[in-house]
Amino acid sequence: MSFWNNQCVLVTGGAGFIGAHLVDELVRRGARVRVLDNFSTGQRENLLISNHTSQTSNLEVIEGDIRDLDAVRRATTGMDYVLHHAAMVSVPQSMADPQMAHAVNVTGTLNVLLAAREAGARRVVLASSSAVYGDNDELPLQETAIPKPLSPYAASKLAGEVYCQTFSAAYGLPTAALRYFNVFGPRQDPNSQYSAAIPKFIAALLRGEPPTIYGDGLQSRDFIYVANVVQANLLACEREQAIGQVMNVACGERRTLLDLHRDLTALIGTERPPLFAEPRAGDIKHSLASIDKMTRLLNYQPSIDWREGLRRTVEWYREGPRP
């Protein structure tokens, strides 16, 4: 029998890019899944895809905001596990509105932890970010590196991690924080002004247009396909060794944006040189993770490599969302 069979799981932000992939996999494994989402950035269509591929009786959707403690309490009641993905995820947006970043990512996370503690949840897993490291020359980045957040978004994610560790130490609430590096895959919205590079590049190239690179294109990222992130979340719930930990979730490899452009043009079959624009405030230059801790504690290994993940992602955007 699956570990997840009949487990009750709350996914905050479950209509978003990563959240919807988690919902699909959890329902596929027999869990009873509840989604809490205010649909400010999450898409109802993502959950329609979930419904089509899963048993709808095992999926409940609540429209609500993590800044509303009462709404979070209602959503958390009866839940065994909480996968906390609701967040303001944009560095530029946080630079423009730091108060909103704090309200959603810090106060919202505190609300989730309070509600999970009251509900007696067995585990809370926080979606954090590699942005907490800032520009750090000591690559690959290890969890012991001193955080140097360069944006309110990064600072708010770091605060969420500290709250998780505090609730584990002070109240005995089992938590884990996962520092995502650059996640990509189907269902990322290329039309959002705050969207990540890969969906924007793919959308532009499929239209026959040049993608825009902010900076010189030599900035590097540790890209990770979304299925690997789902795997990491499930392991963080299943393994006792995850409790109280902060862990990198990545592939342990880095590629520049020029590498990304080269590989995408080869996959799509187009020759469109990129346009270059001024670097964006708050963006870091280089990012590369050590995944030794995740491997040692949880036996984590990425199951989908860079080229296969990129191929699947391009295929999805070519075919379009499937209801």
Annotated active-site residue 153? The verdict is yes
Residue of 153, 163, 225, 317 marked catalytic? 153
- Report CA-CA distances (Å) from 256 to 36, 179, 182, 197, 289: 35, 20, 12, 11, 14
Lowest mean pLDDT among 59-73, 143-157, 269-283, 304-318: 269-283
- Buried b / exposed e along 159-181 (16+ C-beta atoms within 10 A): bbbebbbebbeeeebbbbbbbbb
Tell me the per-residue pLDDT of 20-76, one tens digit each, with 9 for 90 and over. Answer: 999 999 999 999 999 999 999 999 989 875 544 445 679 999 999 999 999 999 999
Q: How confident is the model at residue 274 (pLDDT cuts 50, 70, 90)?
A: very high
Work out the average pLDDT over 6-19: 97
* Mean pLDDT score across all residues of the chain: 93
Cis peptide before 140 (omega within 30 of 0): yes
Domain ranges of the chain: 8-184+225-251+289-303
Fold of 8-184+225-251+289-303: Rossmann fold (3.40.50)
